[in-house]
Structure 1
Amino acid sequence: MTPRFLRAAALAATAVLVTTGLSACGNDEAEGGATSEAATLRLGYFPNITHAPALVGVKNNLFADALGAGTKLETKTFNAGPAAIEALFSGAIDATYIGPNPAINGWAQSKGAALKIIAGTTSGGAALVVKPGITSVADLKGKKIATPQLGNTQDVALRHYLKEQGLNADQQGGGDVSILPQENATALQAFAQGAIDGAWVPEPHVSRLVSESGGKVLLDEKTLWPNGQFVTTHLIVSQDFLKKHPATVTKLLQGHIAAVDLVTTDKAAGQKAANEQIAALTGKPLKDDILAASFANLTFTVDPVSSSLFASAKHAEEVGLLKPVDLKGIYELGPLNSLLKAAGKPEVSAEGAA
């Protein structure tokens, strides 16, 4: 299935959706003063392999083609979720690919007014990698383990897992296990130098720790989730932009579906495009073996795996990194499901939202 065919199919689906009133967004357009389409769509994403559909969508012009000549695509890259959320809050971007915990935090901070999750992107691809001498959870006691950032998705996962195993870790790096939040590049170097004993990280850092520094996977996070599925990346949009420009959001989703289809049906082309975009953004493409290993650990899907989002929020609450928050309404999957239905694809749900 070629990208051209995918784009054509998505365009046809969009035509059906626009004709039928944009599904769940129809009332916003009628009552909320929505304009026809936005002159510009400002899209955020990360130069990470977990954002492969975004990388491919930009590299192969899938978003630009879907938006058409009437809407200019502007992109901005981020290295951390909080920065992307702040950009969305300030109006510097209209939509962004992002991890689950930053989206949860953004929803909580804005009291449910700033954003909506409109599609899934990536599932899986995170693990606890340790020194070969660590063979059990009990061996983690007294060890130093890195995570990407305090309160980020992998940090919450590690803290909750340790708590479930009867081990404590405080936010200052103390306790049975010393958790040391740091940038992934720093963690890679620290692990190679022996300054830390392991790290709970996403791909491609899992594969790099194993391949380049002799680490071993003590725990693949997918073993903790039903069917091995949990949200790693999803697509969110500003509620204000969604209300004003529902047709543009639908076209963004059209490009998103085409990108996910490409990376799942033509893996070689998807890997190549994603790595070329990473190289263009960072100057450092992933090595072929790391790229292949990373893709093998990731599932790219428009399903937001919503049940895992609600569970992750509870986990963050349980480890003291999030105050109780009502996430009902955080998803707006109507436009996505209208496109999926028009294309003859299975629709997705916001399971656990009630």
Structure 2
Amino acid sequence: MRTPTRRLAAAALALVATLALGACSRADEGSSSAPAGDAGATAPELRLGYFPNVTHAPAIVAVEDGLYTKELGATTLTTQNFNAGGEAVNALLGGSLDATFIGSGPAINAFAKSNGEAVRLIAGAVGEGAQLVVKPEITSPEQLKGRTIATPQKGNTQDIALKKWLPENGLAAGEGPDAVTIANLDNPRTFDAFRSGDVDGGWLPEPWSSRLVLDAGATVLVDEKTLWPDGKFPTTVVIVRTEFLKQYPGTVTALLRAHLAAIDEINSDPARAKTLVNQGLKKLTGNELPGPVIDRAFSNISIGPDPIASTFPQLAQDSVTAGITKEPTNLAGFADLTLLNAELAAAGKPPVDAAGLDKPGGTG
């Protein structure tokens, strides 16, 4: 018969073994070695990135309507703005940013650059809303030869889309009369360059495609939604540093709660949402969008928390096709939608599907 002392020792050994097994399991998933916080652990500060684009409308609305402040409580919100995903990735991986709204291509790149360690996909935000707009005399892909087309940044979501589309249409990126020159320009510079004739078009996110069409006379050669099944693809998603997610799940939950509230506000009252987005854009850029531009931009996007995870293996392959990466990124463990789905369940809404990207050895 065991003595109480021996039983306690055996129980202690079993507990240690269980904890060790759990630690190994987490390590095997490629997650951060940072100690996990309790479910309600909150950070003193949340450093959040987003872009002054209509495709980042949920972030802009949440800032302008005080939704982050309401949900974060004692946590201080510090925001940073970027022109394109590469800049946000560098800030995130450099530790000067905790979470960011970002394009799908740079989100994958951040995961790849850190060997699957540093970031996790925690929500979707905006789908669609990207177009190849060109001078009116360009009416076919063939007529792009010898022309210059702009994208926001090398390796960003629209840059990858263009570089994938070109060879599919018998075109090559490069210099010369038989190639298409790609110019990587900030969106405002693309607008000015198009009006001055220095570029012939751009593969751009909203509202910049709408600005070129309505304010500069461009026409649409390709609406990217026509290239995807059911016309759906993720343009903007939310990613967070893995270490921050593990240490401060309470803060990430608050971020997601504000995010969902912003999505609900946008979809229930688009007119007010447009006012808030314009208000935010004026603060960030000094300019508001004309009514027809913001109306067109909003008509080209869908807003919701689903990151459409099933598209990410194709997006990873597109980066290879575009010459951004040498091989498709293994996306196993990329998504962690646990907190998002908990918030959706609490609101009586259906969960979103991680499409296997939340599992070691999953799709990818």
TM-score (norm 1): 0.87
Within the candidate set 147, 162, 168, 2:151 is matched to: 147
Moved more, 89-98 or 114-123: 89-98
Contact 2:83 2:152 (8 Å CA) reproduced: no
1:33 is displaced (CA, Å) by 4.2
**Residue 360 (structure 2) pairs with residue 344 (structure 1):** no
Contact 1:310 1:352 (8 Å CA) reproduced: no
Matched residue, 2:9: none
| Greater radius of gyration (CA) | 2
Deviations 1:200-251 (A, max 9, x none): 1111111111111211101100000111111111111110010001111111
Secondary structure, aligned partner of 2:333: coil
1:175 is displaced (CA, Å) by 5.4
Considering Cα pairs closer than 8 Å and 6+ residues apart, tell me whether 1 or 2 has the greater RCO.
1
1:276 is displaced (CA, Å) by 0.4
Matched residue, 2:47: 42
1:173 is displaced (CA, Å) by 7.8
1:294 is displaced (CA, Å) by 0.6
Matched residue, 1:200: 203
Secondary structure, aligned partner of 2:335: coil
- The AA in structure 2 aligned to 1:230 is F
Query: In structure 2, what is the Cα distance between the partners aligned to 1:152 and 1:81?
Result: 6
TM-score (norm 2): 0.85
Query: In structure 2, what is the Cα distance between the partners aligned to 1:146 and 1:39?
Result: 40
Moved more, 246-255 or 308-317: 308-317
Query: In structure 1, what is the Cα distance between the partners aligned to 2:177 and 2:154?
Result: 14
Query: In structure 2, what is the Cα distance between the partners aligned to 1:349 and 1:304?
Result: 9
Deviations 1:102-129 (A, max 9, x none): 1111111110111001000000110111
Spell out the pairing of 1:301-340 with structure 2 (5 A cutoff): 301-324=304-327, 325-340=329-344
**Residue 82 (structure 2) pairs with residue 67 (structure 1):** no
**Residue 110 (structure 2) pairs with residue 113 (structure 1):** no
Query: In structure 1, what is the Cα distance between the partners aligned to 2:288 and 2:273?
Result: 14
Contact 1:169 1:175 (8 Å CA) reproduced: no
- The AA in structure 2 aligned to 1:101 is G
Deviations 1:304-352 (A, max 9, x none): 0122332122011022211222111111011101111121112111226
Query: In structure 1, what is the Cα distance between the partners aligned to 2:176 and 2:124?
Result: 33
Query: In structure 2, what is the Cα distance between the partners aligned to 1:86 and 1:78?
Result: 11
Deviations 1:157-177 (A, max 9, x none): 11111111121114x688522
Deviations 1:74-111 (A, max 9, x none): 22222222221222122212111111111111111110
Query: In structure 1, what is the Cα distance between the partners aligned to 2:252 and 2:170?
Result: 45
Matched residue, 2:80: 76
**Residue 130 (structure 2) pairs with residue 126 (structure 1):** yes
Count of equivalent residues: 324
1:283 is displaced (CA, Å) by 1.3
**Residue 265 (structure 2) pairs with residue 258 (structure 1):** no
Deviations 1:6-58 (A, max 9, x none): xxxxxxxxxxxxxxxxxxx9xx9xx9341522122121111211111000101
Contact 2:163 2:321 (8 Å CA) reproduced: no
- The AA in structure 2 aligned to 1:302 is P
Q: Give percent identity, aligned residues only.
A: 47
Matched residue, 1:135: 139
Query: In structure 2, what is the Cα distance between the partners aligned to 1:46 and 1:236?
Result: 14
Contact 1:222 1:229 (8 Å CA) reproduced: yes
Change (3 A) 1:54 1:173: farther
Secondary structure, aligned partner of 2:236: strand
1:142 is displaced (CA, Å) by 2.3
Matched residue, 2:236: 233
Matched residue, 1:214: 217
Matched residue, 1:271: 274
Matched residue, 2:190: 187
1:187 is displaced (CA, Å) by 1.5
Runs of 5+ unmatched residues, structure 2: 1-25, 358-362
